[in-house]
Amino acid sequence: MDSLSQHLPFRQFLKDQVVLITGTSRGIGRALARGFQDAGALVYGTVRREDQFPELTQEGIHPLLCDVRFRDQLEKVFETIYEKHPIIHTVVNNAGIATHSPASLLKESEINDLIDTNLKAVFHVCQIYYQKQRNKGGNIINMASVLGLIATPLAAVYCATKGGVIQLTKALALEWAKNHFRVNALAPGFIDTDMTEVMKKRPQVIQQVLQNIPLGRLGESKDVVGVALFLASEAASYVTGQVFVVDGGLSAH
């Protein structure tokens, strides 16, 4: 990914800030980790396999082993960071999974994994962070999806979890504002990552998707980064409880 710093007006706001991003092994999470690191932040990123450590470390990102479905592992992540730093300036809830199964055929294990990863883990991260920094304030960015706002076939539970993230974001923003916490959500549209590989292999499907996107292309991971950096900066100090849609105009129909 090309250096972002030359394009961003808020590098000074992020210099030496401590940031935790879940799910940084690939896709949007990886781009976010690089973008925050490039903008001067000290970035900690969770991954599920230790063999992913060397590549992240080489890029200046501090990897932490964690399966976000398990609260005890999330608590350990926070404890590890707080052993080194008195405060975490921003937490980005990025870890997530998707399926492409018909709703009538979804297995119980798939349903549980979607809910545990996409919704429960987001709440647990927010709750742990708030409990640790209740008197210091904080900044949370939750990764939702345009599919939390509009529906599509073959993604019933995924849509439900992302809609839940949006409502969770708004509710926490209201509840925690008095403790100087800002809570916002990002809702990417169809981004060109491994999660859209299945769609890209079906010419009719990808053609239909592109026809519905006014800008006429899939998004790139870096398209999400600039908005996330804005939300992490002092430029967004009066912004909370909002959902920032990055979808090329898809949801404007």
Whole-angstrom distance, CA of residue 251 vs CA of residue 151: 10
| Residues whose CB is less than 8 angstroms from the CB of residue 157 and which lie 6 or more positions away in sequence, other chains included | 99, 103, 106, 110, 111, 114, 115
Please check whether residue 14 is in contact with residue 36, taking contact to mean a CB–CB distance below 8 angstroms: yes
DSSP state of 56: H
- In 3D, which of 244, 221, 253 has the Cα closest to residue 145? 244
| β-pairing verdict for 181-188 and 138-143 | parallel
**One-letter-per-residue 3-state SS of 167-187:** HHHHHHHHHHHHHCEEEEEEE
Sign of the dihedral through C-alpha 99, 57, 139, 245:
negative
From the list 44, 130, 158, 238, the catalytic residue is 158
Residue 130 bears catalytic tag: no
Active-site residue numbers? 158
